[in-house]
Structure 1
Amino acid sequence: MLQITVPKSNILLPEYSGALLEGVTYNKSNNSLLWVEIEGATLHRYFFDTAEHQVLSSNLPGDSFGTLGLTTNDDKVVLGNRTGVVAADFSTQEITPIVSYPPNSRTRSNDGKIDPHGNLIVGTMSDFPYETAAEGSVFRLNSRSLKLETWKTNTTIANGLGWSPDLTKFYWTDSGSKQVYVYDYDEKSDQISNEKVFFDVRSITSDPSSAPDGMCVSEKGNIFVAVFNQAAVLKLNSSGEVVTRFNIPAPRITCVTIGGKNGDEMFVTTAGDHGRGTKSEYEGEDLGGHLFWYKLEESESETQFIWGGDV
């Protein structure tokens, strides 16, 4: 296994940090990076060409943002918020409801992605300040009919997901189980089957607070997994073997994507401390809450899809 240390000088925006960053997404259309700050219910966009940092905030008390998906309009994204899915528009600063989850005052949106058919797959989990329990679900929101279908129930922390480049495999994470799962994916029917364990974080650590978090699948079929409380992003091959460990100067790594104009830049979100977990396997200055980037040796662009409905 190759080990690479990302220096603390690789903070993308030194003047910015948040409590719990997630959902990092690169938009090649306008060379921008987007992410959410969950607890602050803010959506962020940074333009590399102009260094402009835009922020869109929810006006709903107690709201949170868990994930985002790109649309055909660069100014508009779909967002998982505390109670459902909304559309957010940077040009107007407006947030418009799309659909509500089945009523549950204890849960909120967490990670999600747009699927190959343009639908949104999004998971929920226990909201703050409740202790995490097996009360989450994973939903598929049809982008054209806006029908919300339940795919999984009784999940703990529905997290990173993605599809193999040939669209024959689907990956999904339940952080509470410490595992990333792989399924057979039928592109025609948009259905999954044959659940198997793809990666178990306990294969690299005995720390009970460590868990796989957000992830992305590259166009080369490699899987990049953010590992919470391990200060690391792991690059796995399609067999689930750890090829490279990227050591990040922040213990709580939440999400990762690969983008940039040449598809060779890794972007990583992290979380601040706030008493989450331990640092038993982390040494060094804690820069949690910052965004990090790293230049890869070759192109590994994330396999990415766009919302298929109206915006």
Structure 2
Amino acid sequence: MGSGSDFEEVALGSLKPYYHVPEAIHSEGITFVKETSTLLWVDIFKGEVHKVEDIEHPESSHSSFSVTRANYAKDSSIEYPPNPESLKESVGCIFPLFAETSQDEIEQVLFGSKFGIGRLDFTNGEWEYVILYSQCPALSSDRAYKLRSNDGNVSPDGKYLYVGLMSDFPFELEAIGCILRVDLLAQKVEVVWNSMLIPNAIHWDESDQKSMYVTDSLNFTIWKCPGGDLLKREELIDVKNSNNQSFESPEPDGSAIWFSKDGKHSGYLFIAVWSTCKVQMFDLAHGKLLKEFILPKSTPRVSCCCLVGKDLFVTTANEKINNAVGFNFDKTGGCIYRIPNVLNGDVPLESTKPQPRYQSMHL
């Protein structure tokens, strides 16, 4: 646990949800687009993409879109992969795309799904795969069948999507997960980190645009990879060591990164810690725990976060996610919280992710 005068604990037990989609199960992947002031997130378990176009009025500007076989584009160049009805679609991460004619509107998004990278068109609700993970020579068909997309991000130059894959919900959790690097323009998929249990949040260092921070959830570790070499990783943060013994499995999940503009320090990493009701704030230079935000006990499964100016938006999951059925939803599981003023000073709005390089086409 943090100690000393520079550690602060912020109790938010009375914080009310910013927004709650009825019967949400596993909200994740929250993303902010500065140019359109749009907030996006997914429900992994239900295979949904959610969009809020007016952050101050989510109730009136929220829309959601399902990713199922039923709304798969019939004229897609990629036929929907063979798949039993029992193995449904899921959505793990999201990559916004601007409208072709302007940056004033988000008409489409790319997303990491069950079998590959999909593209959803908000204007008609249809989607299609634009590349399949099975195109990766290192992934056998049997292994790929058992995997699903988890978290992911876009390289600073927009050239690559990095997506973590992990065991899909119906299967036993095994170390068959991996991190893929996807080049959409070259139609190339390659494994860059193999044999993982739960690969999670991925970020790049602002100073050199190459060094990476990778979350390895069930090793409770945030790795720094200098120069972007994932094989030469250094432990930056031991999240289990930064939580007391009352938490059996304090897994680092999704996170948000912020870099200082004043040169006084390198920046911070805000980590959603699954099963603990916490978001923890670490110093990027030394991996030191500086602050933790304690959310209401009714939502222990804190799953992801993103910064919108000074505020931190936090997603959560249903407490009974492993057995979630229509009549078994808790009242706040899957809700989104808004924690105000987690940063000080003049903090400009910034998009969560760069725009991916992609030759967009209308569905």
**Alpha-carbon offset, residue 42 of structure 1:** 0.4
Letter in 1 for 2:187: L
Q: Is residue 25–residue 321 contact of structure 2 (8 Å, CA) maintained in 1? A: no
Q: Specify the alignment match of 1:307 in structure 2.
A: 356
TM-score by length of 2: 0.77
Q: Is residue 21–residue 335 contact of structure 2 (8 Å, CA) maintained in 1? A: no
Q: Specify the alignment match of 1:81 in structure 2.
A: 113
Q: Alpha carbons of 1:192 and 1:177: their partners in 2 closer, same or farther (altered >3 Å)?
A: closer
Q: Is residue 229–residue 253 contact of structure 1 (8 Å, CA) maintained in 2? A: yes
Q: What is the alpha-carbon distance in structure 2 between the residues aligned to residue 287 and residue 233 of structure 1?
A: 17
Q: How many residues align?
A: 297
Q: Specify the alignment match of 2:65 in structure 1.
A: 56
Instruction: List gaps (5 residues or longer) in structure 2.
Output: 1-6, 70-84, 100-105, 135-140, 261-266, 323-329
Correspondence for 1:252 among 301, 323, 341: 301
The C-alpha deviation readout for 1:44-86, integer Å capped at 9, x for no partner, is: 0012265311111112250000001122331211100011111
Q: Is residue 112–residue 159 contact of structure 1 (8 Å, CA) maintained in 2? A: yes
Q: Is residue 219–residue 303 contact of structure 1 (8 Å, CA) maintained in 2? A: no
**Alpha-carbon offset, residue 128 of structure 1:** 0.9
Q: Alpha carbons of 1:5 and 1:175: their partners in 2 closer, same or farther (altered >3 Å)?
A: same
Q: Alpha carbons of 1:307 and 1:134: their partners in 2 closer, same or farther (altered >3 Å)?
A: same
Correspondence for 1:231 among 269, 277, 280: 277
Q: Specify the alignment match of 2:312 in structure 1.
A: 266
Instruction: List gaps (5 residues or longer) in structure 1.
Output: 277-284
Local SS of the residue matching 2:259: coil
Where does structure 1 differ by over 6 angstroms across 4 or more consecutive aligned residues?
none
Local SS of the residue matching 1:132: coil
Q: Specify the alignment match of 2:122 in structure 1.
A: 90
Q: Specify the alignment match of 2:234 in structure 1.
A: 196
Bigger drift between 200-209 and 134-143 goes to 200-209
Q: What is the alpha-carbon distance in structure 1 between the residues aligned to residue 332 and residue 306 of structure 2?
A: 19
**Alpha-carbon offset, residue 182 of structure 1:** 0.7
Letter in 2 for 1:225: I
Q: What is the alpha-carbon distance in structure 2 between the residues aligned to residue 30 and residue 121 of structure 1?
A: 24
**Alpha-carbon offset, residue 230 of structure 1:** 1.1
2:131 maps to 1:110 = no
**Alpha-carbon offset, residue 303 of structure 1:** 5.6
Whose strand proportion is higher, 1 or 2? Answer: 1
Q: What is the alpha-carbon distance in structure 1 between the residues aligned to residue 216 and residue 27 of structure 2?
A: 18
Local SS of the residue matching 1:59: coil
Local SS of the residue matching 2:276: coil
Bigger drift between 134-143 and 202-211 goes to 202-211
**Alpha-carbon offset, residue 224 of structure 1:** 0.9
Q: Specify the alignment match of 1:133 in structure 2.
A: 174
Q: Specify the alignment match of 2:264 in structure 1.
A: none
TM-score by length of 1: 0.89
Local SS of the residue matching 2:248: coil
The C-alpha deviation readout for 1:12-63, integer Å capped at 9, x for no partner, is: 1145451111100011111111000011000000122653111111122500
Local SS of the residue matching 1:185: helix
Tell me how large the CA RMSD over aligned residues is. Answer: 2.1
Q: Is residue 131–residue 184 contact of structure 2 (8 Å, CA) maintained in 1? A: no
Correspondence for 2:165 among 124, 133, 141: 124
Q: What is the alpha-carbon distance in structure 2 between the residues aligned to residue 15 and residue 193 of structure 1?
A: 40
Bigger drift between 247-256 and 47-56 goes to 47-56
Q: Is residue 306–residue 352 contact of structure 2 (8 Å, CA) maintained in 1? A: no
Local SS of the residue matching 1:65: coil
Q: Is residue 114–residue 307 contact of structure 1 (8 Å, CA) maintained in 2? A: yes
**Alpha-carbon offset, residue 286 of structure 1:** 7.9
Letter in 1 for 2:283: N
Q: Specify the alignment match of 2:268 in structure 1.
A: 222
Bigger drift between 286-295 and 56-65 goes to 286-295
Local SS of the residue matching 2:218: helix
Q: Is residue 147–residue 177 contact of structure 2 (8 Å, CA) maintained in 1? A: yes
Bigger drift between 177-186 and 106-115 goes to 177-186
**Alpha-carbon offset, residue 149 of structure 1:** 1.4
Letter in 1 for 2:148: R
Correspondence for 1:27 among 23, 33, 36: 33
Rg larger in structure: 2
2:97 maps to 1:71 = yes
The C-alpha deviation readout for 1:226-274, integer Å capped at 9, x for no partner, is: 1001111111111111111011112111101001xxx111110111111
